[in-house]
Structure 1
Amino acid sequence: MPGVSGRFSTVVKAKISKLLDRAEDPAETLDYSYQKQLESLQNVKKGIADVVTAKKRLQMQSSKLEQSVVKLDTQARQALSQGNEELARVALERKNVAQTELQGLDSQVSELEAQQQKLIDSQQKLTTKIEAFRTKKEVIKAQYSAAEAQVRISEAATGVGEEMADVGLAMQRAVDKTEQMKARADAVGELEASGAFEDLTQLGEGGDDDIDRQLKELSSTATVDDELAKMKAEIGSGAAPAESKQLEEGQA
């Protein structure tokens, strides 16, 4: 299973990387990087200030030791001039200790000055680098904004974008409904031309449909046929002359 777990981890990382790439805004990333560089520059300046402060403190101690060396030398001379050799010796011993401390302080001050100069050089280089990065950053942001605007314009013009795709779908639905309505209108017109609506109207008014009318016609025809047969039978039996005479009288 190690191979499967490794592949799964790779797939997950790839998916996360893709999501992060979509969410990443180059302008925000560049601004963030520039801000971090400015913070680094501020840290360098703070380091320089700390070094200068420490150097000034050592220089103050060095100045006090120098004064102490001069004072002890004077005291040793005075004691020796007064014949107090032991006191002069003590003063000279203290003078030597102060001189040793003074040399150590001078060495530390020199080291701090060298460190200060290195920090100043680093600050200048970092300032130049940050300024160059700021200029390039603004150029890249401008190019990205222009490219993004061009993409939006192209998508709007060609209908590739998501919003334009939705508009295209809505338009297609409208066209489909229009075509459906036109087909329905044509069908209604065709039915109207064929007289289907007139038959329906007659059905509504008379209450009879085609079958009812046909049945009535058959019934009427049968009645007429029966009467005709009856008349023929009567004429054949001799009743016709009387009826004929009555018919003629009636016509007169």
Structure 2
Amino acid sequence: MANILKRFGDIMSANINALLDKAEDPEKMIDQYLRDIESDLGKVKAETAAVMATETKAKRELDECTQEIDKMQRYAEKALQAGNEADARQFLEKKATLVKNQESLKQSYDVAVANAAKMKEMHDKLVKDMESLQAKRDAIKAKVAVAKTQEKLNKIGSSVSGAGDAMAAFDRMEEKANRMLDEANALSELNASGDSIDDLTKKYDSDDSASSVDDELAALKAKMGL
């Protein structure tokens, strides 16, 4: 019983907070604590029932003794009425013995009543504590659920950040590709802006030859009167 009460004391005190801080999974730990407490509470109920049964038994024995005393008193009176003083004396002696026993039974009954009251009070308190722990468990599980959701969001946020880095890298690659394309286009324009030396040489060589033939043809026509 002392161990059960100590367990409840530890759990209901701030000690449970330290234990939960060390736990890898607070949900599982609080569930295990509740299972242990439910088991302990069952033992307390059984112990309380036993103490209450002892009280009931003590009350019954005290009542039976009291009834027997009253019975001896009545028989003593009847014996005297019948003129049997010796019989009356025996009944009174028996009554005296029962009275002494009654005092002992009364003491036992008083102790049983006190014990039953304490156990009942203890049982009721533990039941309330159990209800408080169940409420605390629900609160802890709610916090754990929020924490797990936050962890998921953090992981997603990290992934999004990574995607942002990748996007920046692609932007840089695109910029480089655009620069390469611009350079290629510029070079193409430069290449198309004029004729090569060979082309120019051929052009002028061709023009000089044609001009000489034309001049000679004109002179021949003039000589022939054509």
| TM-score above 0.5, yes or no | yes
Q: Secondary structure at the match of 1:104?
A: helix
C-alpha displacement of 1:120? 1.9
- Counterpart CA distance in 2 for 1:111 and 1:82 is 42
Q: Which residue of 2 aligns with 1:111?
A: 111
- The Cα offsets for residues 202-237 of structure 1, whole Å up to 9 and x where unpaired, read as xxxxxxxxxxxxxxxxxxxxxxxxxxxxxxxxxxxx
- Counterpart CA distance in 2 for 1:149 and 1:43 is 39
Q: Which residue of 2 aligns with 1:142?
A: 142
- Counterpart CA distance in 1 for 2:88 and 2:22 is 84
- Counterpart CA distance in 2 for 1:113 and 1:52 is 8
Whichever residue aligns with residue 94 of structure 1, its letter is K
CA 1:114 to 1:23, structure 2 compared with 1: closer, same or farther past 3 Å?
closer
Q: 1:68-79 maps to which residues of 2 (within 5 A)?
A: 68-79=68-79
- Counterpart CA distance in 1 for 2:23 and 2:30 is 14
Whichever residue aligns with residue 123 of structure 1, its letter is H
- Counterpart CA distance in 2 for 1:93 and 1:24 is 74
Q: Which residue of 2 aligns with 1:91?
A: 91
Q: Which residue of 2 aligns with 1:101?
A: 101
What number of residue pairs does the alignment pair up? 141
- The Cα offsets for residues 129-174 of structure 1, whole Å up to 9 and x where unpaired, read as 2222221221111111221222133224425xxxx9xxxxxxxxxx
Whichever residue aligns with residue 64 of structure 1, its letter is E
Q: Which residue of 2 aligns with 1:122?
A: 122
Whichever residue aligns with residue 151 of structure 1, its letter is E
Q: Which residue of 1 aligns with 2:16?
A: none
5+ residue gaps in structure 2?
A: 1-20, 163-226
Q: Which residue of 2 aligns with 1:67?
A: 67
C-alpha displacement of 1:49? 1.4
Q: Secondary structure at the match of 2:107?
A: helix
Q: Secondary structure at the match of 1:36?
A: helix
C-alpha displacement of 1:22? 9.8
C-alpha displacement of 1:23? 8.6
Q: Which residue of 1 aligns with 2:55?
A: 55
- Counterpart CA distance in 2 for 1:22 and 1:104 is 54
C-alpha displacement of 1:44? 2.2
User: Identity over aligned residues, as a percent?
Assistant: 26
Q: Which residue of 1 aligns with 2:80?
A: 80
CA 1:156 to 1:66, structure 2 compared with 1: closer, same or farther past 3 Å?
same
Is contact 2:55-2:116 (8 Å) kept? no
Whichever residue aligns with residue 139 of structure 1, its letter is A
- Counterpart CA distance in 2 for 1:78 and 1:118 is 45
CA 1:50 to 1:22, structure 2 compared with 1: closer, same or farther past 3 Å?
closer
Whichever residue aligns with residue 69 of structure 1, its letter is I
- Counterpart CA distance in 2 for 1:23 and 1:96 is 67
CA 1:122 to 1:138, structure 2 compared with 1: closer, same or farther past 3 Å?
same
- The Cα offsets for residues 28-77 of structure 1, whole Å up to 9 and x where unpaired, read as 11011122222222222222211221111222222221221111112222
Q: Secondary structure at the match of 2:83?
A: coil
Q: Which residue of 2 aligns with 1:40?
A: 40
Whichever residue aligns with residue 58 of structure 1, its letter is A
Q: Which residue of 1 aligns with 2:152?
A: 152
